[in-house]
Structure formats: structure tokens, C-alpha cells
A = this chain, B = another copy of it.
Amino acid sequence: MNKGIKIATIGGGSSYTPELMEGFIKRYHELPIKEIWLVDVEEGLEKVSIDAQMAQRMWDAAGYDVKVHATLDRNQALKDADFVTTQFRVGFLEARIKDERIPLSYGMLGQETNGAGGIFKALRTIPVILDIVEDMKRLCPNAWLINFTNPSGMITEAVIQYGKWNRCIGLCNVPVIAMMKEPEAIGYRKEDLIYQFVGLNHFHWHKVFDKQGNELTSKVIEAMLEGKAVGLPANINNVPFFHDQIKRLGMIPCGYHRYYYRQEEMLKHSIEEMNTTGTRGQQVKKTEEQLFELYKDPRLDHKPEELAKRGGAYYSDAACECINAIYNNKNIHMVVSTQNNGAIPDLKNESIVEVSCLIGGNGARPLAWGPLPSAPRGWLQVMKAMEECTIEAAITGDYGTLLEAFTINPLIPMGASAKKVCDELLLAHQKYLPQFTDKIKQLKEEGLLIKDAVVRNLVENEQ
């Protein structure tokens, strides 16, 4: 790789791109990038252009000789790439808003990676990522695919199990934030703690130890229950966990566990939010517009503070760290989505899990955790089953399989309303769900209408 590294970023027109650039710039001394290709689709042309110019300014200001390209031609970007990062969002934020509002309009959780919304985000994204993988087989067969498009775990599972592409690592900012915030909450320095994570993407727990191997998990639990910020992503409402339950659990849940452990309150909060400030997607849309206004400023040549407010902050930095660890065979501890291989013996060997890994020149090697107690074991198994049904439905377009995914999803109370939610989501996302064409056609013939007016508008505007 002494020619200098080529990076291709799919979904290059994301508002996170400056964070990604910052991450690369601060690692340039050991990660000698030569060129960066930001790829996007037609509708994202303006944003990717703004990003590319902003990015180029950042590199220039840093004084490194790196060329940033914006392109709509994925082939050109992928050709001989060393690392491909994926941060695209099929259907843009409008799709996220649909994922949120349709379930909420029936009194069910609307969220982009949990419940019905999470299932549909996977349905839209998986066919696209599998296309990308086919391109990579032709154009850059030795490249690493560093995915941070959500739902990151399911995307990674689709890439590895169905796309048969093993050089893929799925990233998430949730463990990063936890490891960043918890130490000070319990009066330690980050480098003096040992972390062990186990679970699935957006559904993991962890334990903490000091350097002598003494467990500090309960300390963090106490701090969390006292209300100390211990690493909650910005997009998640801070309802406290039930003390007795978490003490019994003996592991620190991740922020997203609130959707399951405090289902009632999280749902209520989401409905209130929709009715007041708008859903998270609607809020983010505004933030994004503001960010791109900033990025347009030809004098801006560094990542603006405002970006950190988004829920996905540190995602891109984690990607840079991961690429660096692979490129330089650093053998560092990171928490990523990779093939289980026994690390969680309660799940299949071939399942994708998100666990503590050693990251080095041959990718991610998961640390074996051993068997889990009843409750976390059952949770992981049911969530993985839901993921499997979802991935299968995304690939086959089978409506019965999709209903199976809905039924087993712990956040969806199955019944006529839930089926309605499913059908409306199919209709609302029709542009991005070619695998369900027949079913959608049938729904239209049956005269299905979308209940929520905001979503109806979004759909009409698309046509």
C-alpha cells in the first residue's frame, strides 16, 4: 500500500463527513491517505459537493497533500480502493421520518433502528449494500468495508453471510461514548479501565474492571442510577433504568436498552416529541440543513462544534480508528460488529455480534465471552431471530417473513394495527423497496392510505 491509501466513502454527502475528515487528518502521520472519494446518488449531488469542498479545505488547512473527489460514479470511487466506508441513508432523512411517524401514528414506537422503523431501514439498505459488495468484488477485491450505516449489525450480517464478503467490520458509536464518559463518572482515567462488551449492535451490555482485574461494573451502575451521564447518545431520552433489575443483571446496559427496559416511557416520550418538536428525524433534518449552511462557508476549514450534538457523533472517528488499527496492525481493543465464531456461545457461530474485539491487520478477532445468564441470553437470541427474519425478508421480499419479523420484535404488539403499520411503511417506502413490488401493488389496489398527513405529503412529493 505504499502508493498511499485510497478511501471511498459511500454516502459521502452525509453531514458527518467533516468528522470523518477530522479523524483521518489527526491520524495522517501513521495513515498516509492519498485520495478520498465521496460517492453519492443524484439527489445527494449538492450535499456531496458541499462536503467535498469542505473536506478539501480541511485537508489543505492541515497541510497534507490529499485530494478529495465528489462523484456519482461508484465504480470510479471503488476502483482500487483500500478502504470503503459506508454512511449512506437510503431515502435520506425523509425515510427516517416515515419510519418514525407511521408507527407512532398507531401508538407504537417509531425509531430508526428499533421496532418497525428499524426493520424497514434494514429492508431498504440491504439490497443496496449487497450491490456495493458485488462492485467491490470486481473493483477492489482486497479492500475492507467499514460500515457505519444503520442498522449496522444487520447490514454487516447481510454483507458477510449473504454477500460472502468477510473483510467487513460494522461500527457503532455507542460503545465509544460509553468508554469515553464512564471513567470520569466513577473517577478513573480511561486508560486505567478494562472493558468487556457483549451483545448485538444497539443491544449490548458491558462490564468494567480496573487494571488489577477488580470489577467496577457495579460502580458504574450506581453512577448511572444516580443520574450521572455515563455515555448516552444524544438521540436517546434519559429515562432511568430500574435499579433492582440492573443490579441483578450485573452488567451495564447500553442506551438503546431503554427502548426495551422502559418501553412504556420511551414510547410516551416519542409521541410527545412528535407532537411538539417533531420526531428526531424532523429535528435532525433541521440540524442538517444548518450544518450544510455552515459547510458552504468557504472560510470554514475545520469540523464545527455543532456536529457533536448529533446522535451519531464519534461514529466517523471510530471508523478512522478502526482503519488505522487495521492498516498499522495495532491490535487494539474496539467494540465492533463481526462474526461471532463462538464469542457468544448462546448464538450461532456465523451470526454477527457486537463484542470486544482485537483489531489488527487481519481485521476483528472477537474475545470469547462465555455463556450468559438467562435474561440477557434470551434477549440476544430473540433479537437475533428478529434480525434474521428481517434480513431474509429484505432479500426475498417475502411478506410472510416480514410479518414474522414484526411479530417477534419485542417493541411491536402484533395485531391488526401492527399489520397496518407494516403495510403503510411498505407503501411509504415503495420507491426503495423493489423486492416488495408485488405486495405494494396489491396494497395499492386494496386502496390502502397512509394515516399520517406528514408522511402522506412526503410520499406525494417524491412522485
Contact = CB atoms under 8 A, between A and B. Distances in A.
Interface of A: 1, 167, 194, 196, 209-213, 242, 244-249, 260-267, 326, 328-329, 331, 333, 339-345, 349, 356, 358, 360-363, 365-371, 374-375, 377-379, 381-386, 388-389, 392, 398-401, 403-405, 407-408, 410, 413-419
Contact of A403 (B245, B331, B361, B381): B245
A212 B339 CA distance: 19
11 contacts: A213-B362, A248-B404, A264-B415, A341-B368, A342-B344, A349-B371, A375-B385, A377-B381, A377-B385, A378-B384, A382-B382
B392 A369 contact: no
The 7 nearest A-B residue pairs measured at CB: A378-B385, A264-B415, A248-B400, A341-B370, A342-B345, A213-B362, A381-B381
A374 B408 CA distance: 10
A248 B396 CA distance: 12
B419 A242 contact: yes
Nearest to A366: B368
Given A264-B415, A342-B343, A407-B245, A360 B401 contact: no
Contacts of A264: 413-418
Contacts of A343: 342-343, 368
Nearest to A210: B361
A210 B398 CA distance: 29
A362 B362 CA distance: 25
Nearest to A377: B385
Given A194-B329, A342-B342, A368-B342, A404 B416 contact: no
Contact of A382 (B263, B370, B378, B389): B378
A38 B78 CA distance: 62
B370 A403 contact: no
B365 A368 contact: yes
A366 B366 CA distance: 9
A408 B379 CA distance: 7
Given A349-B345, A378-B381, A413-B413, A367 B367 contact: yes
Q: Which of A266, A341, A342, A375 has the most CB of B within 10 A?
A: A342
Given A213-B363, A248-B403, A264-B416, 14 more contacts: A194-B362, A242-B403, A246-B400, A260-B414, A263-B415, A341-B345, A349-B371, A377-B381, A379-B385, A381-B381, A382-B382, A382-B410, A410-B410, A413-B413
